[in-house]
Amino acid sequence: AQSVTQLGSHVSVSEGALVLLRCNYSSSVPPYLFWYVQYPNQGLQLLLKYTSAATLVKGINGFEAEFKKSETSFHLTKPSAHMSDAAEYFCAVTSSGGSYIPTFGRGTSLIVHP
Amino acid sequence: EAQVTQNPRYLITVTGKKLTVTCSQNMNHEYMSWYRQDPGLGLRQIYYSMNVEVTDKGDVPEGYKVSRKEKRNFPLILESPSPNQTSLYFCTSSVGFTGELFFGEGSRLTVL
């Protein structure tokens, strides 16, 4: 079985500050990990994904995430927040060991203050 | 343009009145699925399909049906909707289970 935990349902930062959104997973087999972003009234879109290549993954809009197997984490970061980054962010995990059922975290709402 | 198209985008209905939410993708993806999104619960998978005529239950399949007669289409059927099915629904498609999910824009359903 696999699961995803996103720490903090809301994260608030000032414009220009570091963004850190936390994601921890559990999986009995090597995982595939994803971060998606959802802007208001839209579907989700892929920010970045880890599929067992480089552990530091760069995505769109200046976001990146680092896969740390020892910590079972895949935290999302961005050095400097923009107002346009305000959105809901979802971490997801899937694996090759079971059926095709990606598991999503409950989401973290990023609030950016001027 | 690669896309997943859902219809309707918004629907208000009454308990027990059968409805269908259509989903179509133009990327020739084999995998398609339906999710519902509820506040505080994130996304939960309802049904998925690995290919034509191959469907299986996700985490919350009760009260829903699906069919996959053609590769591009994956409709979600609510035979007898109830208020607890009021939710935001997303259809997705992907190349495989390790691939990126492409999401439709969502269908907001209210059951009175």
Residues of A in contact with B90 (CB under 8 A): 43-44
Averaged over A19-44, what is the pLDDT? 89
Amino acid residing at A9:
S
**pLDDT value of residue B24:** 98
| Chain A nearest-CA residue for B97 | A100
Task: Tell me the C-alpha distance between A82 and A110, whole Å.
Answer: 11
Question: For chain A, what is the radius of gyration of the CA atoms?
Answer: 14
pLDDT category at B67 given cuts 50, 70, 90 is very high
Question: How many CA atoms lie within 13 Å of A94's alpha carbon, on the beta-carbon side?
Answer: 17
Residues B76-100 as b/e (b if ≥16 CB within 10 A, e otherwise) read bebeebeeebbbbbbbbbbeebbbb
* Per-residue pLDDT tens over the stretch B8-46: 999 999 999 999 999 999 999 999 999 999 988 889 999
B42-60 pLDDT, tens digit per residue, is 899 999 998 999 999 988 9
At B16, the amino acid letter reads G
- Is the minimum CB–CB distance between B56 and chain A shorter than 8 Å? yes
Beta-carbon separation of B101 and A32 below 8 A: no
Contact assignment for A43 to B48 by CB distance below 8 Å: no
pLDDT at A95: 72
**Residue A65: per-residue pLDDT:** 97
Q: Convert the pLDDT of each residue in A71-107 to its tens digit.
A: 999 999 999 999 999 999 999 988 765 555 688 999 9
- Is A94 touching B (CB cutoff 8 A)? yes
What's the confidence (pLDDT) of residue B100? 85
Buried b (16+ CB within 10 A) or exposed e, A8-47: eeebebeeeeebebbbbbebeeebbbbbbbbeeeebbebb
pLDDT band, very low/low/confident/very high, at A114 (cuts 50, 70, 90): very high
Average pLDDT, chain A: 90
Q: How far is A87 from chain B (nearest CA, A)?
A: 14
Task: Give B76's strand partners.
Answer: B21, B66
